[in-house]
Amino acid sequence: MNTTEALETITQVLRRIAPDVDVDELPDDVPLRAELELDSLDFLSFVEQLSKTSGRRIEEADYDALSTKASCIEFLSAT
């Protein structure tokens, strides 16, 4: 997955998780959980949908790599 595809995937999932948030205006470097006020279940849903949509298996050990939009893009576009 390239960086453009990763961003599209993240944007799509975030719109489902936080429909009231303008995801396009969300800075790439802000912590998603704090900015979107995601509790642990919301974050788990984000991870599960991200995994399903991207086709990439995401382990619990990978959760720290999903803290911001930028880190999510880096994680999903890594081979």
d(CA 7, CA 4): 5
Count of domains for the chain = 1
**Whole domain around residue 66: which residue ranges?**
3-20+31-77
H helix and E strand count, the chain? 4, 0
d(CA 45, CA 55): 15
Read off the CATH number of the domain in which 36 is found. 1.10.1200
Split at pLDDT 50, 70, 90, the class of 79 is low
pLDDT number for residue 67 = 96
| pLDDT tens profile 8-67 | 999 999 999 999 989 999 999 999 999 999 999 999 999 999 999 999 999 999 999 999
Phi first, then psi: give them for residue 29, nearest 5 degrees: -110, 10
**In a domain? residue 26:** no
Structure-block tokens of residue 25 = 């205006």
**In a domain? residue 63:** yes
pLDDT number for residue 69 = 95
CB atoms within 10 A of CB 20: 6
**Is pLDDT at 4 greater than 70 in this prediction?**
yes
